[in-house]
Structure 1
């Protein structure tokens, strides 16, 4: 491959990622897909509809990932979740911080971007603060704290941290076929659980689950299939184009917020280039904005009072620190990570749910005190 063809392919990967993330923004805006909202509906109303949306999305993403592995399109050992080192305490503590933060900030990272597209100025503030906190936890003061504390507590799994790899190593089966059959079992059960719910099968509910799960699977294809070059024209090494981690990536929104701010602030620095994460942040905002305009639902929104401002700022910091510590958010670990059946992702999701429940208890305490 010539360097000109290499650069052209990189542009195609970025445009494809932008389109997929914009579609994510449109679907999330239209269907009110929200992990925090799903947990809130169960706690406050006993309504499992939005949780079934989330379950359907995970199921579709798991099935999509498994089929692409079986077809040989992507290599499951090259994802950012495939490390053999399970940082379980980081996933648990970071997930809990993120879950608490998303309640205080009225939504997770993806919901923040969707709300920006819908006209929320307070979500714009959350985005900036969350991005700064994320960057600090990637490379700054909280990164040192993270590296010297929770990241030190881990255990190793020789075949990798994915359930298919563990099962294949224990049984002696082919890793590819194990991924397919386990994906069919887990993904199929989740899809069945969702669609068999009473009154669930409406157009918007199915669009939310199938559409969001489909965008996660599509991004795996963009990064792992379209964006994979077996031999870089200069280094002669295999490379995943436009990847911040150097590995195959799908949708996630905590660290990419930091990368997006970094790209905007140092735009004239030629070393700062567009990546999958940066364009996915822009894509979600634009997709939600276009949908809000077309449906005339665009509304400017600001903070109600000082306490509302303080809670959102605290939530943004918790999400930034927690999301990076847990290696992903409700989308990064909750959808993309779970689609690979990563052990670390399951732990992170448990932490997110626990943190969210603590956040709801705190909000209830505030209401009772008032």
Structure 2
């Protein structure tokens, strides 16, 4: 069934939600089985290691580049139509929000996407942290924290009324993104081979990148046949978490891609963990752990909204279309996470209580 037939049968809004659900299920299964996690990769790197977690992250990032840039080369998608590219980006938001998000994901022991995946496997710590993340994200979007976010984001924005296309700005050829993705994939496979990572884990890691491409291509296809404007978007969890929360709290909310994405990730992760016999209820270890996790979740909620996306939304989805602020936010997330690990966790290891 093609997109036009789907729209004619169920309507534009349900079709968008269904595409979000499909993207989410693919992402959830792949992320759960590959153990994909930016927080884990940054911590590993901060401790001077190039282990399995770095390899998985590199493979996910590189395959997202390959799938998305390849789709663009084949005419299945246009990066300039992506929502993240069509609106002004915030350099100041990318820096401040990226740093806060990096700090938060180390404190919470997982980025927002990872918390959603873990919540579906029975991790109650991630359920509570994810709810705090979604509430703070909503407060940052249109609640009490919105004026602060607007002020910080407005300090330094991209020129020309849209985000910066790094490839165009640097004068790089159209195929550069695809070539960079392939080169990074080779590096990821070398690191994976040194760490003796199994083939299936590598396949699922590339599946996370594939899910990002599915989101971009499917929403682009929908935008070409829909009567009303449809945002061209893909996997990200800051805005969608807030939107999904409000969908269940406010009966005036409408169906859209975001509303299908979050439940899709939860469903995919749950099925993957259940079938693998890994579903298990877990809680907070102690009060200190709970305080730390909830503080981290709040940092991520505000930081992700300020940065224009989370570790997935900026670090993989936005990065795959070479949005300037997404790459800057990703860099700042790495910096924030590594510094936090050094100052908080590694110091705790060297100086045990």
* TM-score greater than 0.5 by the shorter chain: yes
User: 1:304 corresponds to which residue?
Assistant: 285
| Segment drifting more, 40-49 vs 327-336 | 40-49
Counterpart-to-counterpart distance in 2, 1:56 and 1:137: 32
User: 2:112 corresponds to which residue?
Assistant: 109
* 5+ long unaligned stretches in structure 2: none
Alpha-carbon contact 1:27-1:211 (below 8 Å) kept: yes
* 5+ long unaligned stretches in structure 1: 172-177, 241-246
User: 1:252 corresponds to which residue?
Assistant: 236
| Segment drifting more, 73-82 vs 96-105 | 73-82
Counterpart-to-counterpart distance in 2, 1:213 and 1:190: 13
Counterpart-to-counterpart distance in 2, 1:12 and 1:366: 49
Task: Tell me the SS of whatever aligns to 2:85.
Answer: coil
User: 2:275 corresponds to which residue?
Assistant: 294
TM-score by length of 1: 0.87
Q: Any idea what the Cα deviations from partners look like across 1:60-81, whole Å, max 9, x if unmatched?
A: 2112222222232222212122
- Alignment match of 2:90 (pick from 87, 105, 129): 87
1:19 Cα deviation (Å)?
A: 2.2
Counterpart-to-counterpart distance in 1, 2:347 and 2:159: 40
1:328 Cα deviation (Å)?
A: 0.8
Alpha-carbon contact 2:30-2:205 (below 8 Å) kept: no
Counterpart-to-counterpart distance in 1, 2:240 and 2:120: 17
Matched residues, number: 346
Equivalent residues in 2 for 1:52-71 (5 A)?
52-71=55-74
Counterpart-to-counterpart distance in 2, 1:149 and 1:309: 29
Alpha-carbon contact 2:59-2:184 (below 8 Å) kept: yes
Q: Any idea what the Cα deviations from partners look like across 1:248-298, whole Å, max 9, x if unmatched?
A: 1010011111111101111xx2x3122212211111111111122112111
With over 3 angstroms needed to count, the CA separation of the structure-2 counterparts of 1:3 and 1:359, relative to structure 1, is: closer
Alpha-carbon contact 2:308-2:314 (below 8 Å) kept: yes
Asked if 1:362 corresponds to 2:344, the answer is yes
TM-score by length of 2: 0.90
1:157 Cα deviation (Å)?
A: 5.2
- Alignment match of 1:228 (pick from 223, 234, 243): 223
User: 1:174 corresponds to which residue?
Assistant: none
| Segment drifting more, 50-59 vs 344-353 | 50-59
Alpha-carbon contact 1:84-1:156 (below 8 Å) kept: no
Question: Which 4+ runs in 1 deviate beyond 4 A?
Answer: 1-4, 157-160
Task: Tell me the SS of whatever aligns to 1:107.
Answer: coil
1:123 Cα deviation (Å)?
A: 0.8
Q: Any idea what the Cα deviations from partners look like across 1:117-159, whole Å, max 9, x if unmatched?
A: 1101111111111011001111112110111234222341578
Equivalent residues in 2 for 1:28-67 (5 A)?
28-44=31-47, 46-67=49-70
1:23 Cα deviation (Å)?
A: 1.9
1:329 Cα deviation (Å)?
A: 0.9
User: 1:189 corresponds to which residue?
Assistant: 183
